Amino acid sequence: MGTFYVYFASKEHLVAAIKARFVEEALDRLAPVAEMAAEGDWAGLLDALVARAVGFLYERRDLVQVFAQEVPGADTDDLFVDAEDRLIAVFAQGIEVAQTAGALNLEDPLATAMLLHHGIVFTVGHLILFGVHSARIVWSPLRRRSCGAAWSLSARSSASQHVATPL
């Protein structure tokens, strides 16, 4: 078997460990954005969160490619789900802070956070896998679309509840 399996039970366990480290790095990159919440600049907060996420994914595009090609095994699936949940929580926390401040009115902030997170990750992952290797090429249109989509979701939710639309 070799010494590789002394440290990891399988290739999937190695990929899961790399994913955990990747998530820690992503969380460190996204953490400074939380300071913007105190300023009440919700559109700027969302814009900065998306920009940092896109930038990070492009900086680590080698790992994005690995994660896109590796399917977790039954014994590592929970590790991958936990990693994704930690990233989604960052988006959910930002949405909940905006909602508490009255800037958003969403029926399900967690579902919105999941859509936003996966929209960014899968869009950027797809672009990386199919040869768009510059965040600058992607950033401007992705920012307009993802931020617009998030505010649109909020506006629809607010309108359906007869509450003012977000800023």
List pLDDT tens digits, range 69-119: 887 778 888 888 888 899 899 888 888 888 888 887 888 889 988 988 888
pLDDT at 155 over 80: no
Q: For residues 91 and 48, what is the distance between their CA atoms, to the nearest angstrom?
A: 12
pTM: 0.75
Among residues of the chain, what percentage have pLDDT more than 70? 73
CATH superfamily of the domain spanning 4-160: Tetracycline Repressor, domain 2 (1.10.357.10)
Domain ranges of the chain: 4-160
pLDDT at 26 over 80: yes
pLDDT (0 to 100) of residue 153: 53
- Check if the beta carbon of residue 78 is closer than 8 Å to that of residue 18: no
CA distance 132 to 61: 10
Long-range CB pairs of 162-166, under 8 A, 24+ apart, other chains included: 163/105, 164/105, 166/42, 166/98, 166/103, 166/104, 166/105
